[in-house]
Amino acid sequence: MGKPIFRPAQPSDLDRLVDLNIRLKRLNEEFDPLLKIRDDIQDISRKYLSDAMSSPNSLVVVAEDDGRVVGFIKADVRERIFYKPKMEGNIVEFYLLPEYRRKGLGASFLEYTIELLKERAEIITAEFPSLNEIATKFYTRLRFRSIISVYARET
């Protein structure tokens, strides 16, 4: 394992990004039965990531080690219509392969992404399953705090 570099995603990363996105959704599934993944996860992931890469309002960045993509972050830039600061960079997907965890890499990857988002966003938010304690600890350590809760129940 070398020291990964961070860079914006390219179309040629798509296959690998689909795989990493499915891993992320499978991980989320472990936390909550209401996060059960759909059967068409493969196709949906492909479309979702391909759209994001071509959208001016999204950012997809990857961590690459020795030519292999080993993690990715997907964020959206959006306007907060009632609150200020107005422009928000919302991190919606964040995944690193297991052997790249617990080495401080996640934090530097996040800082890299925030640097890119900073040009257009004044506040950075992150979404993850409520029961993901690892994510809670990670963001808390990096001085994030919970500002909105999403509660769910089935109809």
Partner 1 sequence: MGVEADRHGRIAVTLAPFYGGKLEIVPKIPVRSLEDFSVWYTPGVAAVCRAIRENRELSLYYTGRWNTIAVITNGTRVLGLGDIGPEAAMPVMEGKALIFKYLGGVDAFPLCIDADSPEKFVEVVRALEPGLGGINLEDISSPACFRILDELRDSLEIPVWHDDQLGTASVTLAALTNALKMVGKKLGEVRIVLFGAGAANIATARLLEKAGADIGRLIMVDTKGILHSERHDMDELMLRNPWKYELGLKTNRERLSGGLKEALEGADVLVAASTPGPGVVKPEWVREMAGDSIVFLLANPVPEMWPWEAKEAGARIVATGRSDFPNQVNNSLVFPSVFRGALDARAKRITDSMVLAASKALADYVPSDRLSENYIIPTMDDWEVYVYVAAAVAEQANRDGVARNPLTYDEAYVRAKKTIERSRRILQALMNENLIRPLPKVE
Residue 23 or residue 46: which is nearer to partner 1 going by CB?
23
Of the residues 43, 51, 79, 99, which one makes contact with partner 1 according to CB under 8 A: 99
SS (H, E, C) the chain: CCCCEEEECCHHHHHHHHHHHHHHHHHHHHHCHHHCCCCCHHHHHHHHHHHHHHCCCEEEEEEEECCEEEEEEEEEEEECCCCCCCEEEEEEEEEECHHHCCCCHHHHHHHHHHHHHHCCCCEEEECCCCCCHHHHHHHHHCCCCCCCCCCCCCC
Of the residues 14, 97, 123, 142, which one makes contact with partner 1 according to CB under 8 A: 97
Of the residues 98, 104, 145, 146, which one makes contact with partner 1 according to CB under 8 A: 98
51 binds partner 1 (CB under 8 A): no
44 binds partner 1 (CB under 8 A): no
* Window 109-148: residues binding partner 1 (CB under 8 A): none
16 binds partner 1 (CB under 8 A): no
User: Could you tell me how many residues of this chain bind partner 1 (CB under 8 A)?
Assistant: 8
Which residues lie near partner 1 (CB under 8 A)? 23, 26-27, 30-31, 97-99
